[in-house]
Amino acid sequence: MLTPRQYFNKYFRKDRDFVREITAISGYTPKEVFLYHLALTHSSLVRKSSEEGQSARECNERLEFLGDSVLDSVIAEYLFKIYPTKDEGFLTEMRSKIVNRKSLNEICKKLRLSNLIMHNQNGSVNRSMYGDALEAFIGAVYLDLGYKKVRKFIYRRIIDPHIQMNQVENQIISYKNKLIEYVQKKKLGILEFEVLDEVGEGPNKTFHVQSQVGDLVLGKGQGKNKKTAEQRASEDALIKLNALPEVGSNGSGKK
C-alpha cells in the first residue's frame, strides 16, 4: 500500500514519468525522489560548474560509495546461505566476481537504468559509468526505503535474473595475474603499473592507473584503491590484446 507521499509522487509530481520509470525498475514507488535524480547524475555533468567539494554533493559518487557497501553486504549474505560448506576465501572470490564492473555495467543496461543517466554528452565518460550508477541507485533505494526493500530489489532484479552461479564459479578473478602470465609467455618485457592521477579525497578518492611494458601502454583503469585500478587496467589490457577466454556475459574483476 502506498504512503500519501508515494501516492503523490506517482500521480501528481511534475516528474511523475520519471517516478514511474524508477518504480518499474526497482519494484517500489519512491518516497524521496531527489535521491534517484542524484543517483543518476554523473560527475561529468557537474564538475565543470562546481568546486570539487560541492560537486561531490551534486553527483552520484557518494551514493555509489554507499550502494557499493550495501551490495557487498547483500551478496555476502546470499553466498553464505547458498554455499554452507565453502570457506571464506571461496566466498570472497565469488563475491568479487559477482560485483565486478563489467557485470554491473551490463545489468544496469538490462534494467534500462542506463537510459536515465544524466551526463555530459560532450565530455569523456569512463567505462564504469553504468555500474557506478547501478551502485548509486542501490544506495538511493537503501536510504529511501530501508535495508529490507533494497535487499529484495537486489535479489529479485539483480541476482535472480542476471547472476548464473555456475558461470560465476568458472570466471577469472585476477586479471592482473592473467596479464602477468600473458606478458611473460609472450616475452613482451617487464610489466609495470603507473598511477597517472589521484582524484578526490578520503572515501571519494579515485586512482587512475595504466599497465605498460616499457613505453607501450597496454591498458588503463580506475578504482577506489590502487589494487582495484590495477585490476581494471589489466582487464582493459587483456581485452585489447584479445587474451581473454569467452566466459559468458557476467565478466569479472571489479575488486
Choice among 64, 106, 132, 135 that is catalytic: 135
Q: How far apart are CA 114 and CA 107, in angstroms?
A: 9
Does the active-site annotation cover 64? no
Do 171 and 252 touch, CB atoms closer than 8 A? yes
The DSSP call for residue 158 is I
Sign of dihedral through CA atoms 71, 77, 83, 87?
Answer: positive
Is residue 32 flagged as an active site residue? no
Phi, psi of 254 (to 5 degrees): -65, -45
Residue 47 carries which side chain, given as an amino acid letter? R
Beta strand residue intervals within 8-161, DSSP E: none
**Which is catalytic among the residues 61, 64, 68, 132?**
68
Residue 88: CB atoms within 10 A of its CB come to 8
Active site residues: 68, 135
